[in-house]
A and B are shown apart, each in its own frame.
Chain A
């Protein structure tokens, strides 16, 4: 079957999440990871992407707290140890210092699974 006949990387990523798995792509030849999921590595164009399980560990790269009448919540950029950065939230705290080590977990947001992070080493 042509690769174009099956689900694309975005659908695959979401499908993994629904199975409770946080997966990211890595190029076999370059070893480079990419997130959000794509059909090829940006800039260099390798299409030899495979799904791998990341360590789930990362570092808070930037963070803000959105102040809203309905309740405040944080929005963070976490840099995974594998390299890519992703938008997420840090659960269990209002905010954390940039540089804080965090661990991924999958929770349900609005009825869909999503990857959030908690401070590493902290019991949930």
Chain B
């Protein structure tokens, strides 16, 4: 079968970060702009080279307009697709399409939020669903807790299994100087943490931090002449399943079961080729379900799969090596931060947490309440 025409045609040439954790006094736009300038410099480009913007935020109705004005970019192509936290993985695909069609030459994909110092609560522009509103769901956690209750009921998944995911994330975070939540954490502490929405306790929930992240994408031929090792987009695909958790066909199965195979097909890769697994961990249950839905273990086996440090440093599968949304950074929408870590690992720049021979990374974004799923496969030059 011939390779998909988009496979390896574009690459991430630069990444940038700003204010991960706490950035007092900084606005969301300032963090997004700082991360963007850092990514552009990392790519060896100038601001004036950027002719396309992809952005989604929790605080801007028209994010590409806001970014373009702030940085003084006149984009020829722009995409403000907002499907929640998975938006940025979708932006990779849209950027690749636009670059490949020569609608533009250098795409900035960016995100920024100051939601920790601005109030310490998750900020969301997501509107209430009228048929849910009387029952006062506290989304997103209500929806993820409902799904968790069902997973436990059907498959015997336990809070102890979920705690293993939180502990693995902390183990990786302890190797990452950029991670916000570092330090020892025991299973007893996780299990004793405050119940927020049964069966999810505070340690099952991602952090609420500040932070910005960005990347710059160009066509592969140009990337090879830029200073940093290119990280190629090998495949990407998305899927929608529902808007309201009431309409999720099976609460234990996300449509990562659709986005994953499509992305692998475009990349002409299989799970066995994957060195690094970056999964959107807004809650411990999301890591578990995406391991199943992307085929790293059979459906229902996620709890057993993660036991005993299997996804922690030194385990059998490297998952969320930054420390993830649970222990590294999670400023509301987390998708861009998956990409940042994947590029860092593929470049070999991950320091103490660097995994050996990281050539293929899967970045799996999630949005809404298990609503949108986008899978992207990134690879080093050796994968072309």
Q: Which residues of A contact B (CB under 8 A)?
A: 10, 35-36, 61-68, 73, 75-77, 85-89, 95, 98-99, 109-110, 112, 114
- Interface size class on chain B is 20 to 34
Our pick among B134, B149, B200, B244 for the contact of A98 (Cβ within 8 Å) is B149
Our pick among B134, B148, B196, B245 for the contact of A77 (Cβ within 8 Å) is B245
Indicate whether A62 sits within 8 Å of B251 (C-beta atoms), given known contacts A86-B246, A87-B246, A98-B153: yes
Pairwise interchain contact B138-A66, C-beta atoms closer than 8 A? yes
Pairwise interchain contact A62-B147, C-beta atoms closer than 8 A? yes
Assess whether B131 is interfacial by the CB under 8 Å rule.
yes
Assess whether B279 is interfacial by the CB under 8 Å rule.
no
- Which residues of A sit under 8 angstroms from B196, Cβ to Cβ? 66-67
Residue of A nearest to B134 (CB): A114
Write out, one digit per residue, whether chain B residues 110-153 have a CB within 8 A of any chain A CB (1) or not (0). 00000000000000000000111011111000100111111001
Residue of A nearest to B145 (CB): A64
Indicate whether A73 sits within 8 Å of B136 (C-beta atoms), given known contacts A36-B246, A63-B146, A98-B153: yes
| Most chain A Cβ neighbours within 10 Å, of B194, B196, B197 | B197
Write out, one digit per residue, whether chain B residues 284-320 have a CB within 8 A of any chain A CB (1) or not (0). 0000000000000000000000000000000000000
- Which residues of A sit under 8 angstroms from B194, Cβ to Cβ? 67
- Which residues of A sit under 8 angstroms from B246, Cβ to Cβ? 36, 77, 85-87
Assess whether B185 is interfacial by the CB under 8 Å rule.
no
Pairwise interchain contact B198-A67, C-beta atoms closer than 8 A? yes
Indicate whether A64 sits within 8 Å of B142 (C-beta atoms), given known contacts A77-B245, A77-B246, A86-B246: yes
* Distance, CA A10 to CA B150, complexed state (A): 29
Indicate whether A98 sits within 8 Å of B150 (C-beta atoms), given known contacts A62-B251, A66-B136, A89-B135: yes
- Which residues of B sit under 8 angstroms from A77, Cβ to Cβ? 146, 245-246, 251
Pairwise interchain contact B130-A66, C-beta atoms closer than 8 A? no
* Distance, CA A77 to CA B245, complexed state (A): 9
- Which residues of A sit under 8 angstroms from B142, Cβ to Cβ? 64, 66, 75
* Distance, CA A61 to CA B146, complexed state (A): 9
Pairwise interchain contact B149-A87, C-beta atoms closer than 8 A? no
Provide 11 A-B residue pairs closer than 8 Å at the C-beta atoms, listed in order of the A residue: A36-B131, A61-B150, A62-B147, A63-B146, A64-B148, A73-B136, A75-B136, A75-B146, A86-B131, A87-B245, A89-B135
* Distance, CA A25 to CA B150, complexed state (A): 26
Residue of A nearest to B247 (CB): A85
Our pick among B131, B198, B244 for the contact of A64 (Cβ within 8 Å) is B198
Write out, one digit per residue, whether chain B residues 137-178 have a CB within 8 A of any chain A CB (1) or not (0). 110001001111110010000000000000000000000000
The 3 lowest CB-CB distance pairs between A and B, nearest first, are A64-B145, A114-B134, A62-B146
- Which residues of B sit under 8 angstroms from A36, Cβ to Cβ? 130-131, 244, 246
Pairwise interchain contact B147-A95, C-beta atoms closer than 8 A? no
Least CB distance from A87 to B in Å reads: 4
Least CB distance from B246 to A in Å reads: 5
- Which residues of B sit under 8 angstroms from A75, Cβ to Cβ? 135-137, 142, 146
Least CB distance from B357 to A in Å reads: 41
Residue of A nearest to B142 (CB): A75
- Which residues of B sit under 8 angstroms from A98, Cβ to Cβ? 149-150, 153
Assess whether B3 is interfacial by the CB under 8 Å rule.
no
Assess whether B61 is interfacial by the CB under 8 Å rule.
no
